[in-house]
């Protein structure tokens, strides 16, 4: 759940308003786009190592910005986030 003054919006995530993002597991993101990443909203670090249980993250078309699945669910409606599978 989120509120209008949710602290996670202070981290610049509102720049993602109306953007398309593609769901991908952290393991696949690490394999295809190596580098340290964190959620654009809550700043949680994406696991850098392959992990046994698939963890879905959402990635922008330029693969520069990641959103964790919790934040995607919380901000999807408020920021009009769109899910796509056309990028990668
Ligand atoms: Zn997050």
pLDDT tens per residue across span 41-52? 999 999 988 888
Give residue 76's pLDDT: 96
Confidence of residue 69 (pLDDT cuts 50, 70, 90): very high
Considering the entire predicted model, what is its pTM? Answer: 0.91
Tell how far the Cα of 81 is from the centroid of ligand 1, in angstroms: 14
Tell how far the Cα of 68 is from the centroid of ligand 1, in angstroms: 4
Tell how far the Cα of 39 is from the centroid of ligand 1, in angstroms: 5
Q: Which residues make Cβ contacts (< 8 Å) with residue 21, sequence separation at least 6?
A: 58, 59, 60, 67, 72, 81, 82, 83, 84
Q: Pairing state of beta strands 56-59 and 66-68?
A: antiparallel
Mean pLDDT for all residues in the chain = 92
Contact assessment for residue 27 and residue 50, using Cβ atoms and an 8 Å cutoff:
yes
Give residue 66's pLDDT: 95
Confidence of residue 75 (pLDDT cuts 50, 70, 90): very high
Tell how far the Cα of 16 is from the centroid of ligand 1, in angstroms: 13
Q: How many CB atoms lie within 10 A of CB 62?
A: 8
């Amino acid at each position: 759940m989120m509120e209008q003054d949710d602290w996670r919006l202070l981290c610049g995530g509102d720049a993602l308003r109306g953007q398309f993002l593609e769901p991908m597991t952290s393991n696949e993101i690490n394999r295809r786009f190596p580098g340290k990443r964190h959620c654009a909203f809550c700043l949680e670090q994406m696991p850098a190592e392959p992990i046994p249980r698939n963890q879905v993250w959402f990635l922008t078309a330029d693969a520069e910005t990641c959103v964790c699945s919790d934040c995607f669910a919380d901000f999807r409606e408020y920021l009009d986030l769109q899910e796509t599978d056309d990028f990668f």
